[in-house]
Amino acid sequence: MKEMVEYLVKSLADHPDQVALAEHETDDSILLELKISPDDIGKIIGKNGNTINAIRTVLQAAASSQRKRVKLEVVS
């Protein structure tokens, strides 16, 4: 799960080395907190949040294949 977001974000970011992803897991849900370089935030969120929402959608599909819930937040 985490690797997937990492792969996606790193492929899209200008500063892949500044991508940090924290994972907080509770019983049946996972919270992913994404930290990226301020220059990349806009790019990862995308117009109208299109890109971050696409990442979330794909992530949810991946999570539901493992019967889990997952949330992805961009933190700064």
Which residues contact other proteins by CB under 8 A?
Answer: 1, 3-4, 7-8, 11-12, 14, 46, 48, 50-51, 53-55, 57-58, 60-62, 64-66
Residue among 26 and 47 whose Cβ is closer to other proteins: 47
Task: Give all strands of the β-sheet with 20-25 in edge-to-edge order.
Answer: 20-25, 29-35, 69-74
**How many CB atoms sit inside 10 A of residue 69's CB?**
13
Q: Which is nearer to other proteins, 35 or 50 (CB)?
A: 50
- Cβ proximity to other proteins, 4 vs 31, nearer residue: 4
